[in-house]
Amino acid sequence: MCNQTEYKNKKVLILGLAVSGYSAAKVLRELGAHVTVNDYKDIDTSDEAKDLRSMGITVVSGGHPLSLLDQEIDLLVKNPGIPYSNPLLKEAVKRDIPIITDVEVAYTISPSSLVAITGTNGKTTTTKMIESLLESEAGDGHIYSVGNIGTPSTTVALHSKPEDTLVMEVSSFQLMGTRTFRPNIAVITNIHSAHLDYHGSREEYVGAKMAITKNQQAEDYLIYNHDQLELTNLVLSASEAQLIPFSRKTRLEKGVYLDDGIIYFNDEKIMDSSNIVLPGKHNLENALAAIAVAKLYRISNQAIEKVLSHFHGVPHRMQFVDEISERRFYNDSKATNSLATINALEGFKEKVILLAGGLDREDDLDNLIPSFRNHVKALFTFGETKSKLLEVGKKAGISEQAAFETLSEAVYKAFEISDEKDVILLSPSCASWDAYANFEARGQDYIDTISKIKVNDEKGE
């Protein structure tokens, strides 16, 4: 879709600045909209506020006054993280003001083809795999990874070209704010329970994820995880797109599947799965989904194998950090739920020293018990959930465990008790917001602590 005149002279309220709001405000102003930005925090003296005002954008901060809606607002673009229980949003609903997120704006103004990826886990890794695969034989067009992955989609969408491709990671929060959003290719990596504190129910969460395909038509494609019966039933009943399943467990008549260690697309051999360098069954599933996209783009099998045999992941997602005195450190700070940690643990053949903890969302973490029992030799916890996770460790029979106030303290303790050949893994199972701005900041704290340990180790301290 490409309708860059849709927002001209419209009165648009951006709710929540952050990176996505800042980008959307500037893009909409460039498209001729009358833009007001509102943030709950006091941002009046920030560089971003000054920049926006210099463009003729109104900035209101220090609260969410309902009076903002009295300006005959045509459209509200909200930060994905702001829940719909927010009083201003509830009032906007009463007044029939359309509420969207920035990915909807990006879709409406971009002429490029769109590959959109969602799922409870694996979104970012799959997005980056797809980006790398498409870049390997891109031709004249540019490949851009945007959306929930970090780069705001509106930043790229406005100036993208028809020959370009946007590879967009989209969260359930973003998808709830879509109306016409229609990817040429949609990918659903998996669906499990998550973000129920935001959505209120699993039904709403699943419905938000399925919004990725709600506007797709017969010429579009939906790639999905066939190994999940619930997801299979959902796409069969909800999608008008051409369905391409992927499976790690079952040989398929159509789609991408693993059979005796070989990856196939339909009946065509693609590559040996052992050449995929990222560890773990979950990363194999991510690769299967990415291969499906690559084959739709006619990427050669040689290019696919070359990319996936050199793809070492992305920061904070099963990222190898360093080796110190034959101890290997891995950073999986993006693991903000228990399933992500289970997947991470199952990616190692040896038992690991696990660092876990973070924001307490009142989740039941007992589903970690089997993985803790089978894959964890020592457990060191931190953050709001430190005591809760120790109880899980106790139930799993882990004898070497302790709680710490900070992640850094836990890292030092893990190194202190470790042996040669040990793996020390940060995979928190929890969100980061009890102590950090985001999971990236938490992962960077881990990396920085490892750097200090390395310096001290080299000094013999």
Q: Parse the chain into domains and list their residue ranges.
A: 11-100, 103-308, 319-459
Q: Is 3 annotated as a binding residue?
A: no
Work out the average pLDDT over 394-402. Answer: 97
Q: Is 125 annotated as a binding residue?
A: yes
Whether 103-308 and 11-100 are alike in CATH topology: the answer is no
- At residue 401 the predicted structure's pLDDT band, cuts being 50, 70 and 90, is very high
* CATH of span 11-100: 3.40.50.720
pTM of the model: 0.79
**Beta partners for 224?**
188, 245
CA distance linking residue 253 with residue 257, whole number of Å:
9
Percent of the chain with pLDDT over 70: 98
Q: Which residues contact 44 (CB under 8 A, 6 or more apart)?
A: 59, 61, 62
What is the pLDDT, as a whole number, of residue 194? 59
The letter for the amino acid at 436 is Y
pLDDT tens digits for range 190-247: 987 656 566 667 788 888 889 999 999 999 999 999 999 999 999 999 999 999 999 9
Q: Is 385 annotated as a binding residue?
A: no
- With beta carbons less than 8 A apart as the criterion, state whether 407 and 426 touch: yes
The letter for the amino acid at 101 is T
Q: Is 124 annotated as a binding residue?
A: yes
Q: Is 367 annotated as a binding residue?
A: no
* 3-state DSSP assignment of residue 447: helix
Looking at the predicted structure, is the pLDDT value of residue 318 above 70?
yes
- 342 token code pair: 């289970």
CATH architecture of 319-459: Alpha-Beta Complex (3.90)
* CATH of span 103-308: 3.40.1190.10
- With beta carbons less than 8 A apart as the criterion, state whether 186 and 216 touch: yes
Looking at the predicted structure, is the pLDDT value of residue 59 above 90?
yes
What is the pLDDT, as a whole number, of residue 296? 98
Q: What are phi and psi of 242, to 5 degrees?
A: -75, 125
What is the pLDDT, as a whole number, of residue 314? 76
Q: How far is CA 395 from CA 176, 282, 338, in A?
A: 38, 25, 16
Q: Is 119 annotated as a binding residue?
A: yes
Pairing of strands 165-169, 113-118: parallel
Q: Is 178 annotated as a binding residue?
A: no
Distance of CA 416 to the CA centre of its chain: 33
